[in-house]
């Protein structure tokens, strides 16, 4: 199987370090969260014991080799290409690669989501974890925004920490994963960044409200400083309420997120969000569970934060979203829709490249997830650059 590796993300080329150094100090047994990281519950497939410490494979290429070996009997993964902006000077640019992805919580995939055309074997964690991490390592983003993460502590945090990523995770208050027998804890949103490219300035976990009433949806927001340019940006990851009939709730949740982000921008700039001095860009990634005609989409397009959707760059007119970011078959029928977005500050960030969507033929008649792809949502990957200050 041919594997394309894109040379992005400097921190992803480092050797793995001792994972125990990134673990928090142990808590008393009475208060220990069973899903918090310990040497005993790290995924053994990615770690080996050496002198009493858990060590992981030496580099991302070794991990990719392991993934290929573990999944050598499966169909080839999707081959996707980047569409580049016509005004990008690739020789002089040093873009920031961003990945947005609802990875499908393991408990939901096996227990509640009902993917009627997907074989149970393809939904097993022993297969899916290699596909998920393989997708991340293929594109090696500097900023990684994930939803439906329910294996944060035993897999994603330790493995990606060894690759040079720092992260924050915020679980849903009432995760549906907890209703599934044998679950691995609540699912939530996770935000990772490459420490060789960025340093953390601030981090905030937000519980989204509707009409001042807290809801079950959350967001993680970080303010990062780029080490090469010294410029800062805000990054947010969120996952809005699912299902039809809840459009009003998604709209109010989106409005609450925008309001809280405006407050953060004002806090760090000391002025109104639309003032000329407010030059700290925003990136907002998420599964909005909303098609482009929904009210929450309009709220983002018309926000004073002056946001635009990066994936419109794939269209010929630059105004149209992709036909789909998710394609699945459930007992209720087939769903093919655009629900996932990467929003960006159009005055201060430039979209240099966008990863295209696989074709219907690539996805196949049984749709997603599958032996080739581990989630019902497709990853979104974009390269951004800071615009020059005037």
Confidence of residue 279 (pLDDT cuts 50, 70, 90): confident
Q: What residue spans of the chain are helical by DSSP H?
A: 60-70, 106-111, 125-139, 157-162, 247-269, 295-301, 360-363
Kindly report the average pLDDT of the chain as a whole number: 85
Q: What is the pLDDT of residue 237?
A: 98
Considering only 19-28, 105-114, 180-189, 286-295, which range has the smallest mean pLDDT?
19-28
- 354-381: pLDDT as tens digits: 999 999 999 999 999 999 999 999 999 9
Q: What is the pLDDT of residue 198?
A: 98
- 316-335: pLDDT as tens digits: 899 999 999 999 999 999 99
Q: What is the pLDDT of residue 102?
A: 98
Give the 3-state secondary structure of residue 21: helix
Closest CA to 110 of 96, 93, 122, 98: 122
Residue 16 has pLDDT above 50, yes or no: no
Q: Which burial class, exposed, middle or buried, applies to 74 when counting CB atoms under 10 A from its CB (0-12, 13-18, 19+)?
A: middle
Confidence of residue 311 (pLDDT cuts 50, 70, 90): very high
Average pLDDT over residues 7-29: 31
Confidence (pTM): 0.86
**For domain 82-386, which CATH number applies: 3.40.718.10, 3.60.10.10, 3.40.50.300, 3.40.190.10?**
3.60.10.10
């Amino acid at each position: 199987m041919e594997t394309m590796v894109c040379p992005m993300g400097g921190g992803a080329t480092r050797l793995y370090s001792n994972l125990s150094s990134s673990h928090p100090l142990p808590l008393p047994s009475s208060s220990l969260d069973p899903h918090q990281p310990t040497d005993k519950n790290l995924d053994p497939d990615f770690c080996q014991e050496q002198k009493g410490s858990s060590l992981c494979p030496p580099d991302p290429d070794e991990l990719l080799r392991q993934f290929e070996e573990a999944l050598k009997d499966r169909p080839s993964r999707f081959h996707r290409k980047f569409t580049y902006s016509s005004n990008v000077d690739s020789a002089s640019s040093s873009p920031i690669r961003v990945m947005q992805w609802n990875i499908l919580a393991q408990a939901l995939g096996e227990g509640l989501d009902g993917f009627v055309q997907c074989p149970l074997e393809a939904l097993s964690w022993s297969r899916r974890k290699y596909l998920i991490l393989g997708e991340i390592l293929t594109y090696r983003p500097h900023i990684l925004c994930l939803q439906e993460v329910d294996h944060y502590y035993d897999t994603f945090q330790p493995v990606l920490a060894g690759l040079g990523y720092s992260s924050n995770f915020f679980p849903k208050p009432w995760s549906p994963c907890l209703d599934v027998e044998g679950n691995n804890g609540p699912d939530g949103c996770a935000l990772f960044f490459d420490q060789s490219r960025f340093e953390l300035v601030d981090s905030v976990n937000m519980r989204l409200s509707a009409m001042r009433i807290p809801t079950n949806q959350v967001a993680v927001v970080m303010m990062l400083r780029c080490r090469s340019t010294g410029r800062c940006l805000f990054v947010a990851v969120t996952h809005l309420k699912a299902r039809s009939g809840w459009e009003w709730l998604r709209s109010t949740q989106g409005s609450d997120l925008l309001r809280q982000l405006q407050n953060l921008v004002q806090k760090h700039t000391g002025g109104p969000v639309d003032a000329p001095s407010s030059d700290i860009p925003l990136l907002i990634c998420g599964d909005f569970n909303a098609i482009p005609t929904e009210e929450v989409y309009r709220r983002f397009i018309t926000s004073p934060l002056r946001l635009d959707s990066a994936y419109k760059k794939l269209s010929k007119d630059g105004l149209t979203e992709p036909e789909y970011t998710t394609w699945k078959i459930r007992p209720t029928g087939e769903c093919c829709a655009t629900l996932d977005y990467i929003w960006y500050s159009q005055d201060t960030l430039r979209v240099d490249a966008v990863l295209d969507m696989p074709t219907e033929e690539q996805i196949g008649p049984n749709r997603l997830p599958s032996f080739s792809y581990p989630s019902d949502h497709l990853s979104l990957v974009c390269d951004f650059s800071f615009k020059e200050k005037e």
